[in-house]
Chains A and B, each alone.
Chain A
Amino acid sequence: NAGVTQTPKFRILKIGQSMTLQCAQDMNHNYMYWYRQDPGMGLKLIYYSVGAGITDKGEVPNGYNVSRSTTEDFPLRLELAAPSQTSVYFCASSYSAAEPRYGYTFGSGTRLTVV
């Protein structure tokens, strides 16, 4: 059981480039989330999804896009990368908001540097 898998683990982008961070879960979780973690800070919610075809903005969505065509996959797209997007990105999933005792399962993170 792989849990939540994120790829790549590390990436360096030049300003203005684009990329997609991949996230896949094999637990049949309906809820998926993208967070970013800046140095010395807590995690901030970028986007979330409550099921295939349903996504919504979190606290810091600017500069990002998401899609959710399947239950398993929730990719995060960065368009026109900027230095302010240098961060560690975590994908997480949960079974149901009505079952809080299970909490989140986190991926291992993607460390992105924009130069």
Chain B
Amino acid sequence: ELKVEQNPLFLSMQEGKNYTIYCNYSTTSDRLYWYRQDPGKSLESLFVLLSNGAVKQEGRLMASLDTKARLSTLHITAAVHDLSATYFCAVGHNAGGTSYGKLTFGQGTILTVHP
């Protein structure tokens, strides 16, 4: 059974600081996604990581994937208040083509950026 764990679950940051959110998963997968969710809103896709060593960057966020360690990171550089949200990683079920695109989500990391 695929299990996905994020840490930390809560992250309070000062503006301008750097931090990393970690996403560990338990079984082999060929796809990992990062999503952002604002309070009361739906999920917005941030990054799609499909291969070992993949690195994607958008603004102050950078995501990476190490499939051998079964670990993805979401690094925040020089945080700003607008980044306050909940961040989820989601890992694809890898079942030889019969996964049907199913994802298992981490618990989410609630990020709050303070002035």
Contact = CB atoms under 8 A, between A and B. Distances in A.
Interface in B83-114: 88, 90, 92, 97, 99-108
A2 interface: no
A106 B97 CA distance: 22
A63 interface: no
A12 to B, nearest CB: 16
A91 B92 CA distance: 17
A90 interface: yes
Interface of B: 4, 30-31, 33, 41-43, 45, 48, 50, 88, 90, 92, 97, 99-108
Interface in A82-114: 90, 94, 96-98, 100-104, 106-109
Interface in A30-73: 31, 33, 35, 40-45, 48, 50, 56, 58
Given A90-B42, A103-B48, A104-B45, A97 B100 contact: yes
A96 to B, nearest CB: 7
A103 B101 CA distance: 8
A contact patch SS: mixed
Contacts, number: 64
A96 B100 CA distance: 8
Given A90-B43, A100-B31, A100-B92, A45 B102 contact: yes
A52 to B, nearest CB: 15
B42 A109 contact: yes
Contacts of B88: 42-43
B102 A42 contact: no
Closest 9 CB pairs of A and B: A42-B105, A97-B101, A100-B31, A43-B105, A106-B42, A106-B43, A42-B107, A108-B42, A31-B101
